[in-house]
Structure formats: C-alpha cells, structure tokens
Amino acid sequence: MRRKFVLLLFVTLAIAALSSVIVLVRAQAPTHVPFTAHIMYTLFKYPSGELGRSFDETVAIRPDGSSVKVHQRTDKMGQTYTIRGVRDLSAKRDFTADELTRSITSAPLLPALAASAAQKLSACKVDVPGASSQILGYKVLQSTSPTSTRIGGEILYDISWVAPDLDCFALKVVTYRQLPGKPLMAATVKRVRSVVPGEPDPSLFAAPAGYIERPPSEVMRMSSEMLGKAPPPLSTSTRLDGIYSSRNSRSGSQ
C-alpha cells in the first residue's frame, strides 16, 4: 500500500513539474513586435545616378510572425494596382493577390517556412554595437551586408539601419552597385516613411473576394498582356509552376 502511495505521489509530482515546464515554455514563446510600416523605394539609373523611378510598399507584422507585403505598381494607363503577398502562420498558408489580373496564387505553408517566420531575432547583427542614430524616433544601428559578386564582376551590397525595438526591422536600406570599370554608387534607397505600432489591420491578411486561383505562369502571362510587356522566360514560369505544384501536392498527400 505504501509503495502504491509513493508511486502515485511521484507520478503526481512529475505531472505537476511537466505542466510547469509547459507553462514556462509557452510564457517564454517569442512574440514579435506588431507594426505596420509604409515604405518608399527610389531607384537610380546606373551609372549616371539619375533618378529612375520610385514606388511604395506597405509591410505589416503580427505578434505570431505572420507578415504581409503590399507592393504598388502602375499599369500602362497610369492607374495604380497592388500585388499583396501574405504569409499567415495561424492559417498555415501563403498567398499572393494580384489586383491587376484579379488572381490569387496560394499554397500551404510548409513547416520549415513557418518555423523560420515564427523565429524572433535575439539581437541585431550590426557593424558597431555602440554607434547609434535615430530614424522616426527609433534608435537604429548600422548593418552592412556581405558583398555579393555576380557573374561579370558586378558588385552589390547593402547598408541598413535597423531598429532593435522593431525586431531589427530596417528603417533605411541603401543598396550599392558597381560594375567593372564603373563607379560605386547607390542604386536603390529604401526609406520607411512612417511606422504605426500595434496589431495590423486584419483586412491586410484576408484573401480578396472574387479572385480566381491561378498558377504563377497564368498570372504572369495575363499581366504581361495587360501591361503590353514581353512575357517572362519560359524557364521562369516553369520553375515557379513547379514550386507551386509541389507545395500543393505535398499538402494533399499529408
């Protein structure tokens, strides 16, 4: 009888300890800083440095790491339309909504991608930890990316100003470019114009009503026709369609 009592007590304590660990793990689960950022991109012609074009983008982050990027584009009539990319961790789904063609291209969110999106940076990777400045009232630290050398000798690298209070989100990024025998210059400048703290607008993460599910190749073909542009290379369409089909088929087999 005593042995049964001791065994029961041990099991009870073990369950209680396990429950405490589970609660502790849940309590310590990383929570992302929620916000919505409005960004302007400015592109410069190389190597003249003349202003090329500019466009806007909206980025929103939820506490669970779900994210959305809304790109603004202009059609041949000068009308603005959006391309919205959503990674929704709660729905376990990725989708891109193209306003021009009224298309949606969706796929299940693979576990590896979900885990990566949910992961929260423990610290910003910066050039000089103590050297800081301010952008939009946020403390920012400078971070330089490794230099990328492309075929033909083209050199690219970024200098970013990241905000620790926004999980190292970059409030400014300057991309530098250099071709052999040409000067090094800023090719693209990304600048955040405003940051709205707090939970983003839920409509940013909602799939638009009335859009038709289409594979990437079909969306690109329709978009090219509507914009009067040449279609993308067949190799690009085939590669993207292969990824699209693979992710959807893997979901169906699970």
The pLDDT of residue 250 is 75
The pLDDT of residue 137 is 97
The pLDDT of residue 29 is 53
The pLDDT of residue 77 is 86
Instruction: Provide the CATH number for the domain formed by 35-214 in this structure.
Output: 2.50.20
Q: Domain coordinates of the chain in residue numbers?
A: 35-214, 217-254
Find how far residue 86's CA is from the centre of its chain.
8
Integer angstrom CA distances of residue 250 from 1, 86, 253: 54, 20, 5
Return the number of other C-beta atoms located less than 10 Å from residue 38's C-beta: 15
The pLDDT of residue 251 is 61
Residue 84: burial class (beta carbons within 10 Å; 0-12, 13-18, 19+): buried
Q: How far apart are CA 33 and CA 129, in angstroms?
A: 21
**Which parts of the chain register pLDDT below 50?**
1-28
Residue with tokens 């919205």: 84
Residue 142: burial class (beta carbons within 10 Å; 0-12, 13-18, 19+): middle
Residue 182 DSSP one-character state = S
